[in-house]
């Protein structure tokens, strides 16, 4: 909850957010330090959009399978294909939706770059 608050404060203060990627060769972008990373973006996205149900310590999983938890970057890397399938291909996660086009593009970039 504290990190969520920090995140919204960050946004409210007008700190730069990662830009959604252009439709182009992903290679060079993936290698710049400014691109979408776990610390820079994905951790906050997973915390707010997935961990309410998909964390091993969450008080209520709302039916999310125990085997599908995203506590750490390693968890996400191990299930990258399932994340892509559920969020980007089938758009079945999060169940109530609420992911913006920008977030979708950033997630695609993060996955394409190998979850840096
Ligand atoms: C409100 C709770 C909730 C949130 C938030 C949520 N999930 Fe889920 N998730 C579930 C439930 C419930 C299932 C089991 C669905 C089923 O069996 O049909 C599930 C299943 C999954 C699965 C297993 C494959 C599948 O589609 O059944 C993946 C992968 C997944 N979620 C990824 C995510 C990701 C990534 C996010 C964040 C972007 C997310 N979920 C957010 C509740 C949630």
Closest atom, ligand 1, to C-alpha of 76: 35
Give the pLDDT confidence score for residue 99 in this predicted structure. Answer: 96
- Ligand 1 pocket test, pick from 95, 102, 104 with the greatest ligand atom count within 8 Å of Cβ, gives 95
Pick from 18, 8, 10: nearest CA to 42: 18
* Average confidence (pLDDT) over 49-68: 97
CA atoms within a 13 Å half-sphere pointing along the CA-CB vector of 3? 10
Q: Is 35 left (phi over 0), alpha (psi -120 to 50) or beta?
A: beta
pLDDT score for 8: 45
Angstrom CA distances, 14 to 4, 19, 29, 102, 103, stand at 16, 13, 23, 17, 17
Q: Express each pLDDT in 78-96 by its tens digit.
A: 999 999 999 999 999 999 9
């Amino acid at each position: 909850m504290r990190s969520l608050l920090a995140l919204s404060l960050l946004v409210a203060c007008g700190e730069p957010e990662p830009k959604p990627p252009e439709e182009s060769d992903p290679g060079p972008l993936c290698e710049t330090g400014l691109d979408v990373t776990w610390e820079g973006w994905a951790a906050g996205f997973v915390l707010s959009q997935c961990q309410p149900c998909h964390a091993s310590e969450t008080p209520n999983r709302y039916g999310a399978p125990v085997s599908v938890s995203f506590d750490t970057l390693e968890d996400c890397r191990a299930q990258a294909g399932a994340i892509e399938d559920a969020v980007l291909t089938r758009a079945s996660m999060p169940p109530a939706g609420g992911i913006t086009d920008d977030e979708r593009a950033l997630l695609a970039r993060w996955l394409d770059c190998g979850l840096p």
